[in-house]
Each structure stands twice: as C-alpha cells, then as structure tokens.
Amino acid sequence: MSAPTRVPASPSQARPVRDGVSLGLAVGVSGLAFGAAAVSSGLSVWQACALSLLAFTGASQFALAGVIASGGSLLAGTAGAILLGSRNTLYGLRLADVLRPRGARRMLTALGVIDETTAVSLAQPDPIAARTAFTATFCCLYLTWNLATLAGALGAGRIGSPQSFGLDVVGPAAFLALIWPRLRAGRTERLVATVGAAVALGTTPLLPIGVPVILAATAALAGALAPQQSVPQQSAPEAS
Amino acid sequence: MTGVWIAVLATAAGCYALKLAGLTVPQRVLASPRVRRFAELVPVALLAALSAVQTATSGHTFALDPARLAGLGAAVVALLLRAPFLLVIVAAAGTAAALRAAGIT
C-alpha cells in the first residue's frame, strides 16, 4: 500500500493540465473583482468586458480603471496601462523559445502571454509539457477571467455604493499581491518599489493624474543601471 | 464615453502588441543584462506606485482614509501568511467594508 503504481498513464500531460486548470480557475475568479472595480470606476459593463477579452492582462486593466476612477487624463491612464504590459514582452521572448508558435497560431498565442501562463509553462520539465501547460492555463484562465468579469461588472451595478463593499481597496491590494513575490526576491526590488511609490506620491500634487505613476518607471531605470552588488559582472576566475 | 472607449481599445491594442512583440522579436534584444533588468523592474516600480497613489491620494491631494488603510494592512497580513491571491483581495475589501459598516470612515 505504501507505494502503488507510481507512474500514471501519461505523466507529462496530466500534470501540466492539472497545474494550468487549477491556477486558471483560482486566478480567473479574480475577474469578479476587476469587473466590479471597473464598473464602480465609471466604465460600462461592455468596456469592462472588452478590456478582459482584448487586453487580457490584469494589472493593466486595474490600472486603467483606477485612473478613470480618479478622474485622471485618459492619455496618461492608457500610457500607464500599456507600460505595465511591457513585462509581457519579456515573457513572450522566453516563451517563444519553448512554444515556437508560427503564423496564425502565433497571433492567438500572443493574447495568452501573461504572468500566469508564463509561470506554469516555464515550470514544466520539457517543451511538450510546457505547450500543454500553456494551452491549459490560457484556455481555463481566459474563460474564467472573462465570465467572472461579466458577473462582477453586472453585480457591481446592483450593490449601491462600491465603497461600502471595500471595492476601492481591491486595486491597491491586487497590485501589492502581484509584486509581493518580487519584493521577497531581493533588496533592489524593495528599493525600486519604495522609490517608485515615493516618486509617484511626491509628484501627485504637481502633475496631471496618471502621470506620476508613469514617472515611477524612473525608479526601475535607476535600479537597472545601478551597479549590481550581489551578482559579479565579470566571469571571475573563482569557479562557482 | 467615446473617450473611455478609445482608452479601452488603445490599451487593448497596446497590450496585445507588446505580447506579440515578445514572440516575434529576435532573442538577442534581451542579451543586454540591463535591458532585461529594466524589464523585470518596471512592473515592480509601477505597481508599487499605483498601490500607493490609489491608497493615499484623492485627485491631487493626500487623503488618508482609515478604512482603506486598514484594508491594505489586512492585505499585507494575508500576504505575510502566504494566502492565495483571491483571499488577499477578500481580506482587504472585507476589512474596509467591515470598518465602514461599523461607522469608521
């Protein structure tokens, strides 16, 4: 009884599907929070749904809704949201190597290049499992995220004051949760986050709404240009 | 309303283009460790800034709402306890909602 037949029929396919579906369901449900936050920010139900269907990247969606809620400039809100999506370019570069999508398939694959699909795909042991994991996560998350957005958006209109449900804290809490793993990863990350927040807060009284957040990217630039203390730059003779 | 639609569609187009660029652009673009490092740090800086601005300001002025701050505090506690994403959100919104229901605004 201690060790039943250890090897399932198709180990390289069962696990990526399970990983992808469970993460897709868990994260996709947060679409409820986005839908509700978007509508209480002043977007229509269809605008909330269009963002989830076409942009399909949570942080950018929350960011645009946040700027619209605070009455900020739409241009600054759009620029900030797109800038936030730039990390997906990095993910795409890494995924291209593993997934090798071509032609029309690449156009569809691109829509699914986000934090979660990247995390699950790159955690797989081989390219075949990675492709399965990508498809499973993308399909499950896309479906759940969009249905949840619609439900949240429809629900938000019926609950009266969004503040009484604490919906104004959903965005800030979601942003913090998204960067939390990176804050744990290193001192530079914590410093960049602190300076970025300070730059944005400090310039809020002076600049158009939405612009201070874009200005926070200077903290990332400084962090990237600063000499790295922990990682040796040259291939030193000392072997590791 | 039209302006918001333009913002929504421009955001969608921009985000999609950035994703597609990653799958299309030659790999050597990321060869520079500084470009790679910048791409890693941009979301950290922007999301921290967004979280701070949406928590502590209203328009152009600082506005410290006790219920909202407590909600974000609850999120931090949930994150320290390694709660899953959705639970972090529920803890934050629930705390703020409970405090407001109790008359703390």
Return the minimum-mean-pLDDT range out of A176-190, A220-234, B51-65: A220-234
Residue A229 has pLDDT above 60, yes or no: no
Q: In this predicted structure, what is the pLDDT of residue A87?
A: 79
Which of B 44-103 lie inside 8 A of A, CB atoms? 44-62, 67-68, 71-72, 75-76, 79, 84-86, 88-89, 91-97, 100-101
The SS3 call for residue A237 is: coil
For residues A181 and B82, the model is more confident at: B82
CB burial string B61-86: b at 16+ within 10 A, e below: eeeebebbbbbbebbbebbeeebebb
Contacts of B32 in chain A (CB under 8 A): none
Selecting from B3, B41, B42 the residue whose C-beta is nearest the C-beta of A83 gives: B42
Token code pair at residue A196: 């970025």
The pLDDT of residue B11 is 97
- As a whole number of angstroms, the distance between CA B47 and CA A85 comes to 11
Instruction: Please give the C-alpha separations between residue A47 and each of A44, A55, A59, B16, in angstroms, as whole numbers.
Output: 5, 11, 16, 16
Q: How large is the average pLDDT for residues A183-208? A: 93
Q: Give the closest of A93, A165, A172 to B72, CB-based.
A: A172
- Nearest CB among A167, A212, A221 relative to B93 is that of A167
For chain B, the domains span: 1-30, 32-63, 65-105
Which value does ipTM take for this structure? 0.87
Distance CA B64, CA A225 (A): 34
Chain A CA closest to residue B26: A93
Q: What percent of chain A has pLDDT over 70?
A: 88
CB-CB contact of B54 with A70 (8 Å): yes
Q: Is B31 on the interface with A (CB under 8 A)?
A: no
CB atoms A93 and B25 under 8 Å: yes
Tell me the count of A-B CB pairs closer than 8 A.
319
Note whether B43 and A87 are within 8 A (CB). yes
B18 touches chain A (CB under 8 A): yes
Give the distance from residue B11's alpha carbon to the nearest chain A alpha carbon, in angstroms.
5
If you average pLDDT over every residue of chain A, what do you get? Answer: 85
Residue A11: predicted pLDDT: 59
**Other Cβ atoms closer than 10 A to B101:** 12
For residue A2, the model assigns a pLDDT of 43
Smallest Cα distance from A3 to chain B, Å: 31
Confidence band, pLDDT 50/70/90 cuts, at residue A204: very high
Rg (CA), chain A: 20
Instruction: Report the distance separating Cα A168 and Cα A5, nearest Å.
Output: 51
